[in-house]
Amino acid sequence: MKEVFERYLQHFDLTNPDIKKKQIHTYQVAENCLEIAKSLGLSEQDQILAYQIGILHDIGRFHQLELTNSYDDQVFDHADYGAQLLFDQGLISTFPVRVGNYEVVRKAIVNHNKYEIEDGLEERTKLFCKLIRDADKIDILELSCDGMIQTRLDGPASPDILMQLERHQSAKVTQIRSNIDRILIRIGFFYNLYFLPSMQIVFDREIVKRLEDKIEDDIVHRELERAQRYLKERLKC
């Protein structure tokens, strides 16, 4: 799977740092998918499927940059575009994905970046939607620890976002008004993880602590501590 994807990526300029970042993100998300799938005790075939979804989930991103020269999600939905490319234009047939799993893969990709998973999906499909969303969030949080986040904070924190965090809810990106909001939205990801194994990964990799070390801000620290308490409570540790 990875080899086929790697060949596909040769169509893009991998010397472009933005493209390179997406390549790295893709493989890390796929590994996260595999780890969560194993911890959930999924069958070997379903572990493979989880990995495949991880590899394909952001395929639209590589085109987004070429088509729009930006990663602005408000103007281009890379998930819908990726699904269209794979399933309407037939690109999926070049990947070793079982035909019987096509619909699960399509739904998982379409739903990976939405605020909520669409209603009416059957359980198995929903499971893989949740899995890719957790795997993706974990990597976005980890990339934030490693520097891909604006740490120069400006503007007051949005009271609505703070209220949602207090209730252990994640806010919407459309509520962002300042850089501090941008970080608070990421902190909301901790409350949005579906599976305990995902929370365990976050805890074991010390993601909260790494973010604390990275960002010096009282509000951010207070919210990170709240998130850490939440994780400990859920993991009973």
Residues numbered 177-196 forming contacts with Fe ion, rule: CB under 5 A: none
Residues contacting residue 32 through CB under 8 Å, at least 6 positions apart: 54, 134, 135, 136, 138, 139, 201
> By CB neighbour count within 10 A (0-12 exposed, 13-18 middle, 19+ buried), where does 216 fall?
exposed
Residues numbered 145-174 forming contacts with Fe ion, rule: CB under 5 A: none
Which of 138/162 has CB closer to Fe ion? Answer: 138
Which of 20/226 has CB closer to Fe ion? Answer: 20
26-34, 43-51, 58-66, 171-179 -> range binding Fe ion (CB under 5 A) = 58-66
Tell me the closest approach of the beta carbon of residue 75 to Fe ion, in angstroms.
15
> By CB neighbour count within 10 A (0-12 exposed, 13-18 middle, 19+ buried), where does 52 fall?
buried
Tell me the closest approach of the beta carbon of residue 78 to Fe ion, in angstroms.
6
| Contact call for residue 58 and Fe ion (CB under 5 A) | yes
Count of residues of this chain found to bind Fe ion when the rule CB under 5 A is applied: 2
Tell me the closest approach of the beta carbon of residue 95 to Fe ion, in angstroms.
17
Which of 112/126 has CB closer to Fe ion? Answer: 112
Residues contacting residue 50 through CB under 8 Å, at least 6 positions apart: 33, 34, 36, 37, 42, 128, 131, 132, 135
Alpha helices (H) in the chain, listed in sequence order: 2-9, 17-39, 44-56, 59-68, 78-83, 102-111, 123-145, 159-166, 179-188, 196-204, 207-214, 218-235
Which of 111/158 has CB closer to Fe ion? Answer: 111
Of 129, 116, 131, nearest in space to 32 by CA: 131
34-42, 50-58, 158-166, 172-180 -> range binding Fe ion (CB under 5 A) = 50-58
Which of 25/126 has CB closer to Fe ion? Answer: 25
Say how far apart CA 111 and CA 132 lie, in whole Å. Answer: 9
Residues 102-121 as x/- pattern, contact with Fe ion by CB under 5 A = -----------x--------
Which of 79/183 has CB closer to Fe ion? Answer: 79
25-33, 41-49, 57-65, 85-93 -> range binding Fe ion (CB under 5 A) = 57-65
Tell me the closest approach of the beta carbon of residue 128 to Fe ion, in angstroms.
15
Of 150, 142, 141, 132, nearest in space to 82 by CA: 132
Tell me the closest approach of the beta carbon of residue 112 to Fe ion, in angstroms.
6
Tell me the closest approach of the beta carbon of residue 204 to Fe ion, in angstroms.
24
Residues contacting residue 94 through CB under 8 Å, at least 6 positions apart: 4, 8
* Interacting residue ranges for Fe ion, rule: CB under 5 A: 58, 113
